Amino acid sequence: MPELPEVETVRRGLMPVLQGAVIESAEARRPDLRWPLPENFAERLAGRRVEAIGRRAKYLLADLDGGEVMILHLGMSGSIRVEGAHARRTGAFHYPRAEAGPHDHVVLHLAGGTTITFNDPRRFGAILIVPYDRLENHPLLAGLGPEPLGNAFHADYLASAFARRSTSLKAALLDQKLVAGLGNIYVCEALFRAGLSPRRLAHTIVTKDGRPTQRAERLVTAIRDVLREAIQAGGSSLRDHKQVSGELGYFQHTFRVYDREGEPCRTRHCKGTVQRIVQSGRSTFFCPTCQR
């Protein structure tokens, strides 16, 4: 599942091409993805200008003229391909993408000849169109926690959110109602950098009077650092993720614990070995020696 850095990478790749562009026509090559496409989907997009490209958690948001927003979720295997006259604007390097295939489900034709194609082999992705004034209350977005790279995410917030949580740190950080956009990979990496065990109970990084401990401060810093570095690297390409230019993300080459079971810990002077455990059905990678 693409996490915040992968979705943010796609957003940044789309901005030079899609923001400010007019959608001349749209193709819906099937009636549904994870859910049915909006009624009269192609007709509702034809002639619309995209005013802005945003992101909330793991969702892409395209503000359309006329007061509506197109919500796009990449699902498990979704990707976006940009082709045509302005494809090279998507990044410093442009790599050829696969030609049209059976999993190209939605195609946007922009004025000027550029096409934007949503490809989703497993069809866990989604595209919705909602009124802008109802966006915050939409079931997919309502109740999401703060963005971990935003001003509302800090140690004091983390202390208030975790103060009475008896779940593990790993589970608390994956709860989208507490922190938006974090997923398995970057939680593992952030906990490693903060020197905190994924098994540690969430409330133990908060003082008895509800203030953040140094552990909470370290965790906030680690989360921000990991996400920023991953975005800079274009995300992590493990199976399906590619940037809209076709380039692979390469943050996976700098993983310190994720998917490194049995390898030596990369902390200087640590003689530990990376272990894998299962928490809530998800693999967790950590060093039991230096993560406490």
pLDDT in tens, the chain (292 residues): 788 998 998 999 899 999 999 999 999 999 999 999 999 999 999 999 999 999 999 999 999 999 999 999 999 888 899 998 666 555 443 334 445 678 999 999 999 999 999 999 999 999 999 999 999 999 999 999 999 999 999 999 999 999 999 999 999 999 999 999 999 999 999 999 999 999 999 999 999 999 999 999 999 999 999 999 998 887 664 444 444 555 544 456 688 999 999 999 999 999 999 999 999 899 999 999 999 9
Q: Residues 11, 48, 56, 58: which is the catalytic one? A: 58
In our burial notation (b when 16+ CB lie closer than 10 A, e otherwise), range 135-168 reads: beeeebbeebbbbbeeeebebebbbebbbebebb
Rounded alpha-carbon distances, angstroms, from residue 77 to 41, 61, 121, 232, 242? 22, 18, 6, 21, 10
Q: Residues 2, 146, 148, 198: which is the catalytic one? A: 2
Place of tokens 């401060």: 217
Spatial separation of the C-alpha atoms in residues 135 and 67, rounded to whole Å:
11
Would residue 16 show up in a list of annotated catalytic residues for this protein?
no
The SS3 of residue 265 is: coil
Residue 2 confidence (pLDDT):
83
Strands 79-83 and 22-28: unpaired
Residue 100 confidence (pLDDT):
63
Q: How many helices (H) and strands (E) does the chain have?
A: 6, 10
Would residue 177 show up in a list of annotated catalytic residues for this protein?
no
Spatial separation of the C-alpha atoms in residues 77 and 53, rounded to whole Å:
21
Contacts of 121 (CB under 8 A, 6+ apart): 77, 103, 240
Residue 253 confidence (pLDDT):
64
Contacts of 214 (CB under 8 A, 6+ apart): none
Spatial separation of the C-alpha atoms in residues 73 and 128, rounded to whole Å:
9
Residue 170 confidence (pLDDT):
98
Q: Cβ distance 3 to 57 under 8 Å?
A: no
Would residue 99 show up in a list of annotated catalytic residues for this protein?
no
Residue 213 confidence (pLDDT):
98
Spatial separation of the C-alpha atoms in residues 187 and 223, rounded to whole Å:
7
200 Rama class: left (phi>0) / alpha (psi -120 to 50) / beta: beta
Spatial separation of the C-alpha atoms in residues 124 and 76, rounded to whole Å:
6
Q: Residues 30, 199, 266, 282: which is the catalytic one? A: 282
Residue 101 confidence (pLDDT):
78
* Residue spans of alpha helices (H) in the chain: 4-18, 41-45, 155-162, 169-174, 184-194, 214-232
Q: Residues 3, 8, 68, 247: which is the catalytic one? A: 3
Angle (CA) 235-15-234 rounded to 5° is 10
Question: Environment class of residue 125 by beta-carbon count within 10 Å: exposed (0-12), middle (13-18) or buried (19+)?
Answer: buried
Rounded alpha-carbon distances, angstroms, from residue 42 to 29, 84, 86? 10, 20, 22
Would residue 288 show up in a list of annotated catalytic residues for this protein?
no
Spatial separation of the C-alpha atoms in residues 72 and 141, rounded to whole Å:
12
Residue 57 confidence (pLDDT):
96
